[in-house]
Amino acid sequence: MIRVRIPPSPTGLLHIGTVRTALYNHLFAKHNGGTMVFRMEDTDKERSTKEFEDDIINGLVALGLAGDEGVHLGTKGYRQSERTGIYQKYLQKLLDEDKAYYCFCTKERLEEMRQKCEKEKRAPRYDGCCSEISPGNAKKRITNGEKGVIRLRVPKDRGDIKWNDLVRGETVINSKELDDFVIARTIDDPLYHLTVVADDHDMEITHVIRGEDHISNTPKQILIFEAFGWELPEFAHLPLILNEDKSKLSKRKNKVSVDDYLKEGYLPEALINFLALLGWNPGTEQEIFSMEELIGQFSLDRVHKGGAVFDIKKLDWINGEYIKKEIADDVDVFYKKLVPCLKNKIPDNPELIKKILKDPDFEGRFKKLSEIPDELSVLFNKLPDYPLDLIMRGKFQITKDMLKKVLEKAKEVVSELEWEKGDSGKSAELAEKMMELVSGLRLKNGQVLWPVRVALSGQEHSPNFSTLMVYLGKEEVLKRLDFALQKL
């Protein structure tokens, strides 16, 4: 039975990189009928906060990537801070078997040593100063209140540490590269490497799938597995997601908080689709995938080794595709997702808004949910003031006098017509009458239609004039044409 895990640390908001790791774990687990464990790694009490934890849990749950077991379900034992007693026992075992030892070196001495190494251009490693202190002696010093950390004793003759990485193949690091690293600050204050290994063992994790930045942690953790005599899980190291300059995705250079993307109106499905393709693809030319398709086609051996730049433009495109699809599939469901973005920007008139969203003239106009209220506001709110230049700008220039004539004629045409506000059935007739006007004036389409549309919308890009007329209603259309005439 395959068991994977997603172990975020609540020291920051839910990061895009964490989501991608969660996604690949999820896809791998589901593809193989396995289970994903969601564990909160909060051993760093200084930096961990409840707010971050909530953000991570909520985000992962919203994306459907929180797994089948774990902290999000409220069960005890999936938060590392709840497991200190367990780690303490393991630590004691290592100490008793002399596979770990107390180190009393001061931070100052360590720092001094590090700087000396750097100056001599040697790799800074712990010199093993305290490794020969007898366990009895060490115990006495601790009982007397002396401060000491716990280090793992790296076997001197361990040689090459190897694992068959499921993404990268055979990977080797010589144990000479490792020093006796710290696994706990005190017996009841364990550190990352110890807790990860203990948890992965206790939670019966079979596959550790994580970011490439953990490659150099892997030999250390293998050593801990070996010290306990535990069976090793499989390891797979995923390529990093990169900033535009190819450095590791960071909040200094990119938006990395998932919540920000969700708030801005990226759909979870789109985000997942996009992230899935950052480092993996099934070898076909398919670009849009449902979660089911991803699960069905995913495999670790098609995961890339090289990092992938986060290209927001492609995300925008994918998101636009999903918006189009979701409006077509079920506008009611889509509208519910849109509500948080409305924020009083336009009147909350669900039936009318849904009708507009489904109007063919609006298809493909939206890249993000957050843009939708702005796009629609022209139909509901006061006409924004726009520069005269805009109404004159069209593809084919006309003179001011001609423009005046066009707008006056347009007014006449509109005056003669009657229609119910929002009656989209009237759109064709409105269009037809306007086209008659065009031919009557012996002008090019654009010379009439551009100024009329701008007069009605005040925008460079907007729905076409007949759609505007339908949803604005006769009275408002006349008002806006007048407004334009006054400007001239």
Partner RNA sequence: GGGGCCAUCGUCUAGUGGUUAGGACAUCGGGUUUUCAUUCCGACAACAGGGGUUCGAUUCCCCUUGGCCCUACCA
Nearer to RNA, 158 or 214 (CB): 214
In 220-349, beta strands by DSSP E: 234-238, 241-242, 308-309
Interface map 422-461 toward RNA (x if CB under 7 A): -----xx--x--xx---------xx--xx--x------xx
Helix or strand (DSSP H, E) at 150:
strand 149-152
CB of 187 closer than 8 Å to CB of 96? no
Site for RNA in 189-228 (CB under 7 A): 191-192, 212-217
| DSSP helix/strand/coil, 107 | helix
- The verdict on 342 binding RNA (CB under 7 A) reads no
- The verdict on 395 binding RNA (CB under 7 A) reads yes
How many other CB atoms sit within 10 Å of the CB of residue 386? 17
457-487 burial, b at 16+ Cβ within 10 Å, e below that, comes to: bbbeebbebbbbbbbbbeebbeebbebbeee
How many other CB atoms sit within 10 Å of the CB of residue 433? 16
Smallest distance, RNA to C-beta of residue 160, A: 10
Count residues contacting RNA (CB under 7 A)?
Answer: 87
Nearer to RNA, 15 or 26 (CB): 15
Nearer to RNA, 35 or 427 (CB): 427
- The verdict on 419 binding RNA (CB under 7 A) reads no
What are the CA-CA distances from residue 388 to residues 343, 406, 445, 460, 488 (Å)?
A: 30, 15, 20, 12, 7
Smallest distance, RNA to C-beta of residue 136, A: 22
From candidates 31, 248, 345, 409, binder to RNA by CB under 7 A: 248
Smallest distance, RNA to C-beta of residue 303, A: 9
What residues contact residue 153 under an 8 Å CB cut-off, 6+ apart?
Answer: 98, 99, 100, 101, 131, 180
Q: What angle do CA 253, 258, 261 make, to 5 degrees?
A: 80
- The verdict on 229 binding RNA (CB under 7 A) reads no
Selection from 479, 480, 469 nearest residue 425 by Cα = 469
Nearer to RNA, 58 or 464 (CB): 464
Interface map 6-25 toward RNA (x if CB under 7 A): -x-x-x--------------
Site for RNA in 47-66 (CB under 7 A): 47
| Cα 90 from Cα 85, distance rounded (Å) | 9
**Stretch of 25-33, 83-91, 400-408, 465-473 contacting RNA, by CB under 7 A:** 465-473
What single-letter DSSP state applies at residue 131? Answer: T
Nearer to RNA, 159 or 340 (CB): 159
- The verdict on 121 binding RNA (CB under 7 A) reads yes
Site for RNA in 307-326 (CB under 7 A): 307-309, 311, 313-314, 316-317
Site for RNA in 265-294 (CB under 7 A): 277-281, 283, 285, 287
What are the CA-CA distances from residue 66 to residues 23, 35, 63, 365, 439 (Å)?
A: 9, 11, 8, 33, 62
Interface map 74-113 toward RNA (x if CB under 7 A): -------------------------------xxx--x---
400: annotated active-site residue: no
Site for RNA in 129-148 (CB under 7 A): 147
Nearer to RNA, 268 or 463 (CB): 463
| Cα 139 from Cα 122, distance rounded (Å) | 33
Smallest distance, RNA to C-beta of residue 110, A: 6
From candidates 159, 364, 387, 440, binder to RNA by CB under 7 A: 364
Residue in this structure with the two tokens 């003031």, named with its chain if needed: 385
- The verdict on 41 binding RNA (CB under 7 A) reads yes
Nearer to RNA, 194 or 348 (CB): 194
Nearer to RNA, 203 or 350 (CB): 203
From candidates 51, 96, 146, 177, binder to RNA by CB under 7 A: 177
| Cα 261 from Cα 368, distance rounded (Å) | 10
Nearer to RNA, 164 or 339 (CB): 164
What residues contact residue 269 under an 8 Å CB cut-off, 6+ apart?
Answer: 290, 291, 322
CB of 24 closer than 8 Å to CB of 66? no
| DSSP helix/strand/coil, 91 | helix
**Stretch of 36-44, 63-71, 200-208, 406-414 contacting RNA, by CB under 7 A:** 36-44
Smallest distance, RNA to C-beta of residue 178, A: 9
The active-site residue, picked from 93, 162, 251, 395, is: 251
- The verdict on 182 binding RNA (CB under 7 A) reads yes
CB of 264 closer than 8 Å to CB of 368? yes
Selection from 331, 321, 307, 360 nearest residue 467 by Cα = 360
| Cα 278 from Cα 240, distance rounded (Å) | 9
Smallest distance, RNA to C-beta of residue 344, A: 25
Enzyme catalytic residues: 251
